[in-house]
A and B are shown apart, each in its own frame.
Chain A
Amino acid sequence: MFFLNQAGTILEMGFIYAVVALGVYITYKILDFPDLSVDGTFPLGGVVFAVLVTAGCPWAVAMIVSFAAGCAAGLITGLLHVKLKINGLLSGIITMTALVSVNYLIAGGPMVSFSQETTMLHNSFVNGFSRFAANFVQVGLTLVLLAVCKILLDLYLKTKSGFLLRATGDNPQMVTQLGKNIDNYKMLGLSLANGLVALAGSLYCQYNTVFNSSMGTGTVVIALACVIIGCVIAKHIRIMKDTTGVIIGAVIYYAILTVAMLLLGSDYTQLIVAVLFVLVLIFDSGLIGRSVKKLFKRKKRPDAAMQGGEGNA
């Protein structure tokens, strides 16, 4: 029972962070843009949702507004970068920092609780199940939303506009040669990405039925780890799309994170997140693979020497 409950939580959180990772996939993999605004837009989506739902707004509308708020924040990062020519990394940091205050002001305090409100993950339909089954119904609902996001993103990337977005990250010069302004596509990508992140933020809050101003800490690192794991998986399985890989990556990452947190306690969460990220990065660079090979080679030699010695004796 405990393990099934944990599995439910892993899947739930994995799917929520998979939505974040889909957004970060757009900026990090497609646009080749290191976007740190994510740490601010994730809680932005949460707080916008929490405040709207508390005020009596239907949850579906609140989620759409959350998405739009994220798009707007991403657009600001984009404007800072392309219009004011601020370095991409710094543009993200500026937006992220500003959003800390913005989120606090929207919330009117460090927390907004809405446990009595009807949301996508807490409603009469979900409550109709036993507590144990309800957990998995929530997972299912989250999966449906995730699938919609993934399919829409996949479809978009196959349109003419999507092609141009991919080319913008791949070779900006080519987009210029096609007579298109790369600035617009960078802003479009950043908007879309942060919209998805904010949408995930609203899901995260719905799951916990509370907005907490500290929920954004570490989002970028978690999402990047999911994207990197996902792309490694997708690279090795030819028919798998990157976006599918990213979703699997998010679930794998959350499973490892959960196990580590169970072993060490939740005080270590951010430390575990950081260490896991380092592991993912060196795994991605192939450093681990090479070290392991070296280790085996080194071990073999003394063995061979020993055997030779025995033979002589």
Chain B
Amino acid sequence: MLELIGIKKAFNRGTPDEAVLFDHFNFSVKTGEFVSIVGSNGSGKTTLLNLVGGSVLPDAGKVLLDGEDITIKKEFIRARKIGRVFQDPSGGTANHMTIAENMALAENKGKRYALGAGLGKKRGEYYRDLLRPLGLGLEDKLNVPVGSLSGGQRQLLTLIIATMTPIDLLLLDEHTAALDPKTAEETMRLTDQIVREKKITTLMVTHNLRFAVEYGTRICMFDKGHVVLDKADEEKENIDVDELLRIFNEISIECGN
């Protein structure tokens, strides 16, 4: 479903600081997979998401989504099939707009944004139904600006918003990293629930090794632009955090970190 073929990506090209991250990098994700990606800083995890999402373009190679070549497609066009949640909780919502307005905007994704009423009259109940399972009381705050919510509340809302319309692929970019441990746990649980319910193919970058082990159907470890560990399904079941940490440390020692 998602394929990256022969990707080459270097930063600071043409300067003495040129750093080649990906060189003939290949990666593919099957429909319905929930891939957790771990790796140290600079290993290329986030760049991978950016290449798929479209905020970074490769120097060479191809990105295919559902067999369609999206390598040079603009970010906003790809976004029609891809949902994305960022590390920054304010990254996915309009903070001066209310919860209901944000949800109305998200609900209309893929359709025209013309001169019809922005806020449908009878949608309030539907929005409340979506928010109630979060258990945060957001369903009673539909007319509150999103900016007045806490980071955790906003991130859960972002997750709901990103998956309100049918998408082919969900990109989670360290989406629990800025949250406190309890909220991170809650966010992760909800992520898993939504991904299972809607059967969305998902790519999740995380620094939390436990989340990577506990959730998802496949785990990948990146190092300097290479996939150094790739286990799916039953193979993944046999991996635990200690094992992962051991491999992680080995790589880090090799790098001299």
Chain B's nearest CB lies how many Å from the CB of A85?
A: 15
B226 close to A (CB within 8 Å):
no
B108 close to A (CB within 8 Å):
yes
Asked if residues A162 and B118 are in contact (CB atoms below 8 Å), the reply is: yes
- For B106, list chain A residues within 8 Å (CB): 178
A161 close to B (CB within 8 Å):
yes
What 0/1 readout, one digit per residue, does chain B (98-141) give for beta carbons within 8 Å of chain A?
Answer: 00010011101110111111110000000000000000000000
- For B110, list chain A residues within 8 Å (CB): 179
Asked if residues B97 and A170 are in contact (CB atoms below 8 Å), the reply is: yes
Asked if residues A173 and B91 are in contact (CB atoms below 8 Å), the reply is: yes
A6 close to B (CB within 8 Å):
no
Known: A160-B115, A163-B104. A179 touches B76 (CB 8 A): yes
Interface size band for A: 20 to 34
A87 close to B (CB within 8 Å):
no
Residue from B84, B95, B101, B119 within 8 A of A177 (CB atoms)? B84
Asked if residues A180 and B76 are in contact (CB atoms below 8 Å), the reply is: yes
Q: Measured between alpha carbons, how far is A181 from B86 in the docked complex, in Å?
A: 19
Residue of B nearest to A30 (CB): B96
Known: A160-B114, A167-B105, A173-B86. A179 touches B77 (CB 8 A): yes
Asked if residues A164 and B113 are in contact (CB atoms below 8 Å), the reply is: yes
Q: Measured between alpha carbons, how far is A78 from B117 in the docked complex, in Å?
A: 26
Asked if residues B113 and A160 are in contact (CB atoms below 8 Å), the reply is: yes
Chain A's nearest CB lies how many Å from the CB of B92?
A: 6
A81 close to B (CB within 8 Å):
no
Residue from A158, A170, A177 within 8 A of B118 (CB atoms)? A158
Residue of B nearest to A178 (CB): B109
B236 close to A (CB within 8 Å):
no
A312 close to B (CB within 8 Å):
no
**Number of interface residues, chain B, beta carbon within 8 A:** 33
- For A178, list chain B residues within 8 Å (CB): 76, 79, 105-106, 108-109
Chain B's nearest CB lies how many Å from the CB of A159?
A: 5
Known: A161-B113, A171-B94. A179 touches B118 (CB 8 A): no
Interface residues of B in 186-212 (CB under 8 A from A): none
- For A177, list chain B residues within 8 Å (CB): 79, 83-84, 92, 162
Residue of A nearest to B86 (CB): A173
Asked if residues A160 and B118 are in contact (CB atoms below 8 Å), the reply is: yes
- For B112, list chain A residues within 8 Å (CB): 160
Q: Measured between alpha carbons, how far is A173 from B76 in the docked complex, in Å?
A: 9
Q: Measured between alpha carbons, how far is A160 from B74 in the docked complex, in Å?
A: 23
Residue of A nearest to B108 (CB): A160
Chain B's nearest CB lies how many Å from the CB of A94?
A: 26
Known: A159-B114, A171-B90, A179-B77. A166 touches B96 (CB 8 A): yes
- For A187, list chain B residues within 8 Å (CB): none
- For A163, list chain B residues within 8 Å (CB): 97, 101, 104-105, 113, 118-119
Residue of B nearest to A165 (CB): B113
Asked if residues B80 and A179 are in contact (CB atoms below 8 Å), the reply is: yes
Asked if residues A158 and B94 are in contact (CB atoms below 8 Å), the reply is: no
Q: Measured between alpha carbons, how far is A164 from B90 in the docked complex, in Å?
A: 17
What 0/1 readout, one digit per residue, does chain B (70-81) give for beta carbons within 8 Å of chain A?
Answer: 000011110110
- For A179, list chain B residues within 8 Å (CB): 76-77, 79-80, 109-110
Chain B's nearest CB lies how many Å from the CB of A152?
A: 11
Q: Measured between alpha carbons, how far is A181 from B109 in the docked complex, in Å?
A: 12
Interface residues of B in 136-173 (CB under 8 A from A): 162
A174 close to B (CB within 8 Å):
yes
Residue of A nearest to B82 (CB): A177
Q: Measured between alpha carbons, how far is A175 from B105 in the docked complex, in Å?
A: 9
A176 close to B (CB within 8 Å):
yes
Q: Measured between alpha carbons, how far is A74 from B86 in the docked complex, in Å?
A: 33
Q: List 24 A-B contacts (CB under 8 A).
A: A156-B115, A158-B119, A160-B113, A160-B117, A161-B113, A163-B104, A164-B105, A167-B94, A167-B97, A167-B105, A170-B94, A170-B96, A171-B91, A171-B92, A171-B95, A173-B91, A173-B92, A174-B92, A174-B105, A177-B84, A179-B76, A179-B79, A179-B80, A179-B110
Nearest 3 Cβ contacts at the A-B interface:
A179-B80, A170-B94, A163-B118
Contact residues of B with A, CB < 8 Å? Answer: 74-77, 79-80, 83-84, 86, 90-97, 101, 104-106, 108-110, 112-119, 162
- Knowing that A160-B112, A170-B97, A171-B94 touch, tell me 13 more A-B residue pairs with CB under 8 angstroms: A160-B117, A161-B113, A161-B115, A163-B119, A166-B94, A166-B96, A166-B97, A167-B97, A167-B105, A178-B106, A178-B108, A180-B113, A182-B76
